Structure 1
C-alpha cells in the first residue's frame, strides 16, 4: 500500500514511523512533514489545509490511504474530497468532524446519547451570557464554540474572569468566527484522561489512554499549552474503567452520529474528567492527540495498518491489537516564550545521542533543516519519549535523553509523570 500522512508535527512523526514499519506498506508520503519525518517518508510540500492539492496529489500518485494528523483538514472536508476520488481516508467526514469543530454540537450529541458531561448552555449574545455567568457563579468554564488552536477555553475561578472571557469571545472577537458562540458549562473536578478509539462508523477499538500536562511550567503553573508532556497508563485507569468509557461514552457517540447520518470513521479522542461520580466527557477531538500519539504508539506491539484499513472498510470488530505492558513518558521541548512569543531558527544539537537505544524516541514537532543542521521552527519543537517496565524508569530514561540534547533556546517541564507511580 501507498500511504499519505497529512501534517507536520510530532503526532505525524509518530504515525509515519509506525505506518512505515508495516509489511503492508510499500511507500509513505507526508505533507508537508518535517526533517524527522523525512527519515521515514517522502516529504510533499503541500500545506495540511490545502484540500484540493492534497486530493490531487493522492489521486495522481496512486495513494491507497490517507491518514490525517490534525483536525483542520478534516473539518474542511478532506475525507469527503478523497472519498469522491475513491481513496480511503482514515478520518471522519466534515459532518462527523463537527464533534471537534463545534463544542455546542458535541454537547447536543452527548445529551441526545445520554453521555455523562457537564451541564451547559450556549450563547451568541453577550448580555445573556454575562447574565448566565452571574447567576451561576464561579468556578465556571467558558469555551469558544469553534476551533481556536487550543486557546479558546477559560476555566474561570472568579465571575470577573468568566465575564472577561465572554466579552473577549463574543464582543471583541478574540477567536474570530470560532468565538461567535460560547459554550458555558459547570466546572468539573478530577484528573483529566485522554482516551482514544479507532472507529468504523458502527464499532470501536480501544487504542489506549494517557494523561497529559497542559500547563507550561512545573507544578501545573503558567498558561495552558498544546501539551508539555504525557504519560501512560494513567493512574487508576483499569480495564473496568476502560470498558465503562467504551460503553457509556464511545459507543453511544457512534450510535448517535450514525443516526444523524454522519457515521464517525477514524480516531475518536475523548477528553474525560474522572470525577467522583465516574468519567464524564469534557470534549471530543477527531484525531490522535499530541503528545499522546507519541506516548501511546511506541507501546504498540502489532502492525497498525490492518486496523486502519478495517476502520475504513467497516470491519473494525474483527481486529484486536496487542500492546506492550510497559509505561511510556513523553517530554516536550518548547521554544523559550511558548505559548507566547518565541524565536525560530536556533540550532539543535545532540539528537543522535538523545535517541540512542530502542527504548527512546525523539519526535520532531516544529523543526526545519538547513545546511545539514536542524533548526527550531515552532513553539513545541521536539517530543522525547521513553518506555520502560515502570513509570519511574521511563521518566528517568526520558529526562536522560532530554539532557543529551544541546538546545539553549529550549525549555521543558521537569515533572512529567512525577508523583503517579
Structure 2
C-alpha cells in the first residue's frame, strides 16, 4: 500500500474495517512511501479494532510517532540519528537482535509474570481464607486465628523473596531452545498461561489449601493428647501449627513450580524457612513478653507446640495432603496431554544427560581435520589449497614426502605436493654439493664477478 491508498482510507473511515480484515488475511502487509503520521495511524488502527499488543521498530526521526503510538517501541541506533532510540522502550544496534528480544526475553518475561501472579494469588487465598473457616467456630467475632505478627510478616518476609526469585530467574526452556522452536512464542500471543481459567484454578487451589490447613489440624487435635495427658485444645497451639504448616506448604509449592533453580532460589526458599523459625521462637519468648507484654501475648507457644511429636506428624500430614494432589495432576497433564513446552523440556533434559558424550565426539571430529585457514599460516605452495576453501586431511599432509601415494588424489593436491618435493629436493642437492666444486656453490652473480 502506498501513501495515496492510506489517504483515501483516512477520508473514508468506514473503509477502515475492510482494510483491516483484508490485511489480517495476509501474512505480510507493506506500506511504502508513507508519512510519519500515517505510520502512527496504521498502528492505532490495529490497536483500536483488534485489541492486540503492537510493537513498532524504527531507526529514524520519521518513526518516532509510530514508536510512541505502539505498546512497545524499539529503536535501532544507526546512521539516521538517535531520535528513534530516545523515544523507544528498547534499543539495540542491529535489527537481528529483535528475534532474541521477542523469542527469548519477551517470552521469559511473560512466563515469569504469569507464574508470579498465579502463585501470588494462590498463597494469599490459602493464607486469608483460613479466617473464613475459623469464623464458623468463633461466631464470626473477627478473632484472628494467627498471631498478629505472623499476619504482618507473612507477605513481607516469610514468602516475599522466593516468589521474587521465581519472577526474576525462572525459565521453562533455555535461550537456545527458545530460538530453535519459535512456536513456543504462541502461548503468549494466545494468552494461555494466565487468563480467567488460570485465575479460577489458582483460586480453587488456594481455597482448597486453606480448607485443608484448617480442618486437618482441627480434626487431629480433637482426638490427640499430649504425653502428659493434656489436650491440644488451646488456641495458641492451634494458631502456631496452622501458621507453620502454611509456610511449609507454600515453600514446597513454589519449589515444585520453579523450573530453573539458581543459587538465589535456594537461598531465598531455605532462608525464608530459617528466618520464619528464628522469628517465631524469638517473638514468642519470655524476654520480649517481659519488655512488651501487650504486643507479644504468645508466651512460649512455639516451644510448647513444636516440641511435641504429634504436632510434627500433623504438619507432615497436612503438607502431604495439600501438595500431592496438585503434583499428581501436573504429572498426569504432562504425561497424557503434553504441550510443546513439555516436549522441548524433555528434549532439553535428554540432551543434558548425553551432553558430555556429544561434546567429546565433536572435539574428536574437530581435531581429525585441519581447515585451510589464512594464507599467512601456510608455507609456500599452498595457494591452491587456500583459495579452494577445502579441507586437507592429516594423512594427506603426512604423505607429502612420498609422491607415489598422491597419484590417486585430486590435481590441486598433486600440484601442491609436487612443488613441495621440488623445493625440498633442490635444497638437499644444494647442501650435498662437494666443497671442491666451488662453482656449484656460487650464485650466477658471483660467477660473473669471478
Greater RCO structure (CA 8 Å; 6+ sep): 1
TM-score (norm 1): 0.20
Instruction: From the CA coordinates, give the structure whose radius of gyration is larger.
Output: 2
**Higher strand proportion (structure 1 or 2):** 1
Pick the structure with more helix per residue.
2
